[in-house]
Amino acid sequence: EVQLVESGGGLVQPGGSLRLSCAASGFSFSAYAMNWVRQTPRKGLEWVSYISSSSSMIYYADSVKGRFTISRDNAKNSLFLQMNSLRDEDTALYYCARRIRGRSDHWGQGTLVTVSS
Amino acid sequence: DIQMTQSPSSLSASVGDRVTITCQASQDISKYLNWYQQKPGKAPKLLIYDASNLETGVPSRFSGSGSGTDFTLTISSLQPEDIATYYCQQYDNLSMCTFGQGTKLEIK
């Protein structure tokens, strides 16, 4: 069974940093691209970042470019999102999801990031 | 950037009804359109990919159609467990994507 478990969320002040993790199991992690998607009540679902299976291709939404860094450790079946210079508008539930072509076929349960002073 | 517009934003229907949700892209996206179902407190679940392909394990009462800029998700006979918010999502290349704003489906 495919499982994705996010962790690392929490309360952080504006300008601060957080590192999210996603532990994958039940599939050959190194064979799949992955992405991060976030959700807020106001903006709905927003794609954040994509990383190919070998980390050779990485893309970011304009809203996080230059502040967030996606990475993965295939030996440890783990996906990461380093978030720096956090803003109020980054407050959201962050999901990791497995990517097959343009679709996300498995999602984690999400980890909540709250940016507030 | 490609914008996705879903309609209606909310919908109330009776059990057994045929339900249709539409999604319009701001430019031609061929068949690069997926549909997700999200129940309260849960992660989104993939229903339909590439406009009309049913994801494994999804009931056959769900179907998708369309190409270019106009797409439709249809539930042929609404069931109580279909109460959820539905999202379309386009991908204009294999990496970046955009979601619609969602359609909240309720039982009448």
Tens-digit pLDDT profile for residues A37-96:
999 988 899 999 999 999 999 999 999 999 999 999 999 999 999 999 999 999 999 999
* Rounded CA separation B21/B18 (Å): 10
CB within 8 Å: A101 and B91 = yes
- How large is the average pLDDT for residues B11-29? 97
B94 — pLDDT class (breaks 50, 70, 90): low
First-last CA distance in chain A: 40
Residue predicted with more confidence, A72 or A102:
A72
- Of A33, A47, A57, which is closest to B98 when you measure between CB atoms? A47
How far the first Cα of chain B sits from its last, in Å, is: 36
Question: How far is it, in rounded angstroms, from Cα B79 to Cα B60?
Answer: 12
Which residues from chain A sit within 8 angstroms of residue B90, using beta carbons? 102
Taking the Cβ of residue A45 and every Cβ of chain B, the question of whether any pair is shorter than 8 Å is answered with yes
Is B43 within 8 Å of A104 when comparing Cβ atoms? no
Cis peptide before B8 (omega within 30 of 0): yes
Would you call A27 an interface residue with chain B, using a CB distance cutoff of 8 Å?
Answer: no
The distance of B103 to chain A (nearest Cα, Å) reads: 11
Is A16 within 8 Å of chain B by CB? no
pLDDT of residue B96: 83
Residue A107 to chain B, least CA–CA distance (Å): 6
pLDDT digits (tens, 9 = 90+) for B80-89: 999 999 999 9
Contacts of B46 in chain A (CB under 8 A): 103-105
Q: What is the C-alpha separation between A117 and B98, in angstroms, rounded?
A: 30
Letter string b/e over residues B41-74, b meaning 16 or more CB atoms within 10 A of that residue's CB? eebbbbbbbbbbebbeebeeebbbebeebebbbe
Mean pLDDT of B33-54: 97
Q: What is the 3-state secondary structure (H, E, C) of B8-56?
A: CCEEEECCCCCEEEEEEECCCCCCCEEEEEECCCCCCEEEEECCCEECC
The CA distance from A86 to A101, in Å, is 30
Q: CA-CA distances (angstroms) from residue A66 to A49, A69, A84, B53?
A: 12, 8, 9, 36
The reply to whether residue A47 touches residue B96, judged by beta carbons under 8 angstroms, is: yes
**Spatial distance between the Cα atoms of B87 and A78, rounded to a whole number of angstroms:** 27
Q: Is the predicted pLDDT of residue B53 greater than 70, yes or no?
A: yes
The A3-7 sheet, strands edge to edge: A3-7, A18-25, A78-83, A68-73
